[in-house]
Structure 1
Amino acid sequence: MKKIYVMLFAILAFNAFVASCSDEEPFSTATLDDEPRILDPTFPDRVNGNLATFANFSRDGKFSMKLTVTPADYTTVTWFVDGEEVATGTEIEKEFMAGTYHLKITATTTVGKSTYREGLIQVNPLADDPSATEVAFERIVAPGNKACLYGDNLDKVESILIGGMAAMDITYVESEDGNYVEYTVPAGLSEGDYRAVFIDAEGNEYGANKVKVTKGAMITMGANRATAGAAWIMTGINLDAVASITINGVDVVEFAKQTATSLTLICPELEEGEYTVTGKTKTGESIQFYANGEVTTEQKVTISSEKALWEGHHYVSWDKEDGDPNKTFNLIPQEVMTALKPGTVLRVYYSIEPMAEYHQMQLATGWWSGLMDTIEFGKGGVYELIITQEIIDKIKAEAGFLCVGHGYYVDLVTVQ
């Protein structure tokens, strides 16, 4: 019995000890030598290598977040937006204009150990706000040159700031394939990424996301195909700074035509195939090429022995009024088409108008009689039509040759 009493007293004493411990405030066991960690919240993984969006709200809201880090007593948290420090500490509450922002959060201990998390903040405009969308390469601009921004409610835009500097010559343009505002980029901007801001008549400011200002030469269209021995037309920005184009080791230094936005040269006599094209500016810098949303210093070009019947950048939309030159493509004379031999391969190279709601094309006679089925597409390409005697007779009897449809540009028509 004595042993039982002793055990009971021991149990009671232990319970009293546990109870007294539970009344104490919790304390950190982490030390300054521990690796820093951001415990909460959890950030989403990248998607196809790109940062994921972890905050999405309207511009009348706020970005608010609280972090849990360890070792809490020895860690400093710093918040960066687009590379600029905006706050310190484990909590943040911040307003943003509409746009997409890159947020990076670093947690650094007193001995210099560090970790970070990053992602995108998406801030959406309100329904009546002037707002901008990104269509293609219109956000790559040159100082002092014309540029444009597509979007909604742009008729309200009275002025535009780029990197805090006022743009000039603001013009609102209505188009059935997307309204836009045209402007002249401030000439004093240095190279870099800048946020654009719309300002309305009352002085209210609205975010319009970023533009990239470059003083380098960039080719945006026309570099991916050429015909041996024929005129090769490329378009872009700052092309008046180009000194040479190199393809398969051949340097072309003389140009048939050269302006700030276009470059025309005679393609070297090369065998059919795929080659790499590069270029240099007058100051020795590499020319840049924009393709598929990426900027590189070289471009693959397909060389063929095709004969060009027409080359340019002609928009086609059957929604245009009768008499509008862009209702159809009718720029190849009838006698040229009827002189073709049966078996000739006709190729129509085309690119899309990104703001168009749909993209369709049909090759037809001057009476709009189809020479092929209507095709639908979502990106640029080439259509091949094998010329027959029946097609030649039809073109001759029905007032020539047309490209009809909607939402695309005819860039090149060739025969082989």
Structure 2
Amino acid sequence: MKKILYSLLAVIAVFSMGTFSSCSEDNEEFITATEDDFPQILLPWFSEWENGEPVEYKNISRDVEFVDSATVTPALYTTVQWLIDDEVIHEGLKIQHTFLAGEYVLKIVATTTKGKSTSRTGILTVRPLESDPIPGNEVGDRQVVPGSVVKLHGTNMDNVVKISFGEKEAATNFVADGDNSYVKYTVPADLALGTYRVTLTDIDGNVYGGGKIEISNEAPVVTEETLWEGEFNVTWDTPFRELQSQFKDLVVAGDIVRAYVTGEGQGTMATGWWSNILTGLQDPDRGDIMISGTMVLEFVLTDSSMQLMNEQDGAIFVGDGYTITKITKE
């Protein structure tokens, strides 16, 4: 009986020694990384770049905090920095940050105590809320000259009272010209050339992201393509239908359609069913533009505009008392 007991104890001892030895070896392997090793970012994972540009990493609403964490090696000898548009905003493995609406270049940099570093880069997209001021991306709005008077088109812009380029502020004047709504402002004359992330402030003091605007020596060259030219008198009985079926094939969302008009009356761009091309509303809420003298009517088309054209028999110009002499797109 004693022999059996001694044998069992011996087996247990051998097994325990093997187990402890294995754990010890594993631990030794785990801590073999030194400050001389090249750092690696194990998490988060970023997709491969496309056409030489980083791709979207995360897409969140502006009312949601950006929360993330990084896993790196050698962990004991590596620090992590989080950069937005090449500026450090946080240092540490975990980050919790709130962003205004916009598109940001997010970069994570891991650096060892010996100065070796690696990085990962992706795009962080922060979506505005539907009720926010949402400026568009027209080239003419996004490249401006210091001291010039310019427009910033968009949605829900009526409460915007200030546009800021960093510390430089420009007061705005909201213009609602029928379907063509925008804020008008003077670019600060002492702004250095470069690209600025701008903010919009409303009458209540709330601040919103406005994307980036480039300050340049030259305004962008705006190229217009003439879609129709002539002389057409628009009346309630004779709307402009010359491009009705063609419009949906001539334009895309984001294009600016301009109608060069003269006269004393009212009118707007509409679908074949006489619905406003931007809002889809019909008379009496269609929102015709009052025309007096020579004017240029602008319509920044949206995805909804294209859908309306397809569903409501193309696009026309309706109204009364004015003459169209040219229609262009940009």
1:409 aligns with 2:296: no
Which one-letter code corresponds to 2:301 in the other structure?
Answer: M
Identify the residue that residue 210 of structure 1 maps to in structure 2.
Answer: 212
Identify the residue that residue 174 of structure 2 maps to in structure 1.
Answer: 172
Aligned counterparts of 2:159 and 2:296: Cα–Cα separation in 1:
33
1:200 aligns with 2:146: no
Task: Say if 2:179 and 2:289, in contact at 8 Å, map to a contact too.
Answer: no
In the alignment, structure 2 segments of 5+ residues that lack a partner are: 226-257, 262-267, 271-287, 316-322
In the alignment, structure 1 segments of 5+ residues that lack a partner are: 225-312, 330-351, 361-373, 377-400, 412-416
The equivalences for 1:6-405 within 5 A come to 11-20=11-20, 26=27, 27-168=30-171, 170-214=172-216, 216-222=217-223, 315=260, 318-319=269-270, 354-355=300-301, 357-358=305-306
Identify the residue that residue 277 of structure 2 maps to in structure 1.
Answer: none
Task: Say if 1:328 and 1:402, in contact at 8 Å, map to a contact too.
Answer: no
Alpha-carbon offset, residue 186 of structure 1: 0.9
Aligned counterparts of 2:220 and 2:138: Cα–Cα separation in 1:
17
Alpha-carbon offset, residue 84 of structure 1: 1.1
Alpha-carbon offset, residue 174 of structure 1: 2.0
Aligned counterparts of 1:131 and 1:51: Cα–Cα separation in 2:
24
Alpha-carbon offset, residue 46 of structure 1: 2.5
- Structure with the larger RCO, 1 or 2 (CA within 8 Å, 6+ apart): 2
Q: Cα distance 1:125–1:375, how it changes in 2: closer, same or farther (>3 A)?
A: closer
Task: Say if 2:62 and 2:99, in contact at 8 Å, map to a contact too.
Answer: yes
Alpha-carbon offset, residue 150 of structure 1: 2.1
Q: TM-score, normalising length from structure 2? A: 0.66
Task: Say if 1:39 and 1:69, in contact at 8 Å, map to a contact too.
Answer: yes
Aligned counterparts of 1:323 and 1:200: Cα–Cα separation in 2:
30
Aligned counterparts of 2:220 and 2:163: Cα–Cα separation in 1:
26
Q: Give me the CA root mean square deviation.
A: 4.1
Q: Cα distance 1:410–1:122, how it changes in 2: closer, same or farther (>3 A)?
A: closer
Which one-letter code corresponds to 1:116 in the other structure?
Answer: S
Q: Cα distance 1:403–1:13, how it changes in 2: closer, same or farther (>3 A)?
A: farther
Alpha-carbon offset, residue 221 of structure 1: 2.7
Alpha-carbon offset, residue 87 of structure 1: 1.1
Aligned counterparts of 2:113 and 2:291: Cα–Cα separation in 1:
74
Q: TM-score, normalising length from structure 1? A: 0.53
Aligned counterparts of 1:218 and 1:42: Cα–Cα separation in 2:
40
1:15-51: per-residue Cα shift (whole Å, max 9, x none)?
2124446887955221222221100111122244332
Alpha-carbon offset, residue 217 of structure 1: 2.8
Aligned counterparts of 1:410 and 1:156: Cα–Cα separation in 2:
28
Aligned length: 262
Alpha-carbon offset, residue 410 of structure 1: 6.7
Which one-letter code corresponds to 1:217 in the other structure?
Answer: E
Aligned counterparts of 1:193 and 1:182: Cα–Cα separation in 2:
19
Alpha-carbon offset, residue 135 of structure 1: 2.8
Aligned counterparts of 2:291 and 2:211: Cα–Cα separation in 1:
38
Task: Say if 2:133 and 2:156, in contact at 8 Å, map to a contact too.
Answer: yes
Aligned counterparts of 1:87 and 1:190: Cα–Cα separation in 2:
27
Q: Cα distance 1:112–1:321, how it changes in 2: closer, same or farther (>3 A)?
A: closer
